[in-house]
Copies of this chain bind each other. A is one copy, B any other.
């Protein structure tokens, strides 16, 4: 006897079992269950009855091997706890939901080596497409993506060299645009608060663009503050306290993400700062969950949902495209910056 999965308590039904029960060939059963080809109403019913009766669940492993078709789309993201990525997945799910394709999620924990492994695992299932977050990957990962022979889309970012297709925003442009908004509103003593992780490529690009935008206006960063670990109200609050203690004359705090910015806002409100006159604040992402707070934080919409949708559309098209889709982040002044 052949090896059995130790978990296989009961033997699984096969097409053959259904075929015998219905008194037809395996092929006919296969056709009925996949709604392919013409089958008489009579046999069709008998087959369905037999299948239901036996509790038959098709074996997609076998089907995929025989047909060389796998209706899965690999999606590789850094994490599920950062709200950015569930939003992207939502967009992907919406679009794929209208097709026969199914997303399969893998997480890299912000680690390129881990990402490489996950991509390898995914490709070994021969999916119909692959969506990967970001443009920075190990050489091996890039090689795998380039040679996968399936549509591959890198999402979130367009500042760099995609392997094939890419859908995202320019984070450099987003940082630059925010700098212009801030400068145009008369803020002059500006602090940046963000992650110390150089692996957070997109935040680094926003910071780069931000500096450039400030430079255009003859400004520079008056101070910077970095954190390790995860973003959150507490993190933002702590950073605001630190930077304002060190450099009390700041009149603007630019955060790497809304979650931190809201923490900073809370701190400033508590300390009695007048917002947005005495001090302004801005974040990034435009998280909807934050609607309902006393003040809306100034931010820039990172278009996460739309990125997911567009990426899924590229995959669903089946084309091996290398199209680059650049979406425009949208500035939302909220209540924490002065009027321009």
Beyond A80-B86, A104-B104, A128-B5, whether A144 also contacts B61 by CB under 8 A is: no
B6 and A318 contacting across the interface, CB-CB below 8 Å: yes
**Which of B58, B149, B291 has a CB less than 8 Å from the CB of A234?**
B291
B90 and A80 contacting across the interface, CB-CB below 8 Å: yes
**Which of B55, B121, B128, B266 has a CB less than 8 Å from the CB of A144?**
B55
Contact bitstring A8-24, B, C-beta under 8 A = 1, else 0: 11111000000000000
Q: Which of A12, A57, A59, A104 has the most CB of B within 10 A?
A: A57
Contacts of A248 in B (CB 8 A): none
A61 and B266 contacting across the interface, CB-CB below 8 Å: no
A56-105 CB contacts (< 8 Å) to partner B: 57-62, 64-65, 67-70, 80-81, 83, 86-87, 89-90, 93, 102, 104-105
Beyond A9-B149, A270-B294, whether A125 also contacts B61 by CB under 8 A is: yes
Beyond A10-B147, A69-B5, whether A292 also contacts B57 by CB under 8 A is: no
B320 and A294 contacting across the interface, CB-CB below 8 Å: no
**Which of B128, B151, B289 has a CB less than 8 Å from the CB of A232?**
B289
Contact bitstring A241-281, B, C-beta under 8 A = 1, else 0: 00000000000000000010001001000100000000000
A58 and B124 contacting across the interface, CB-CB below 8 Å: yes
Q: Once the chains are docked, how many angstroms separate the CA of A80 from the CA of B305? A: 13
Q: Once the chains are docked, how many angstroms separate the CA of A290 from the CA of B3? A: 51
Answer whether residue A222 sits at the interface, using C-beta atoms and an 8 A cutoff.
no
- Quote the shortest CB–CB distance from A234 to chain B (angstroms): 3
A318 and B7 contacting across the interface, CB-CB below 8 Å: yes
Answer whether residue A129 sits at the interface, using C-beta atoms and an 8 A cutoff.
yes
Answer whether residue A207 sits at the interface, using C-beta atoms and an 8 A cutoff.
no
Contact bitstring A114-127, B, C-beta under 8 A = 1, else 0: 00000011011110
Answer whether residue A36 sits at the interface, using C-beta atoms and an 8 A cutoff.
no
Contact bitstring A130-142, B, C-beta under 8 A = 1, else 0: 0000000000000
B233 and A289 contacting across the interface, CB-CB below 8 Å: yes
Answer whether residue A150 sits at the interface, using C-beta atoms and an 8 A cutoff.
yes
B233 and A149 contacting across the interface, CB-CB below 8 Å: no
Beyond A60-B124, A86-B81, whether A68 also contacts B6 by CB under 8 A is: no
Q: Once the chains are docked, how many angstroms separate the CA of A5 from the CA of B320? A: 13
A12 and B149 contacting across the interface, CB-CB below 8 Å: yes
Q: Once the chains are docked, how many angstroms separate the CA of A128 from the CA of B8? A: 9
**Which of B9, B57, B80, B144 has a CB less than 8 Å from the CB of A123?**
B57
Answer whether residue A143 sits at the interface, using C-beta atoms and an 8 A cutoff.
yes
A143 and B55 contacting across the interface, CB-CB below 8 Å: yes
Answer whether residue A213 sits at the interface, using C-beta atoms and an 8 A cutoff.
no
Contacts of A4 in B (CB 8 A): 68
Contact sample, A vs B, 9 pairs, CB 8 Å cutoff:
A5-B126, A7-B150, A10-B149, A57-B123, A60-B124, A81-B87, A232-B288, A232-B289, A233-B292
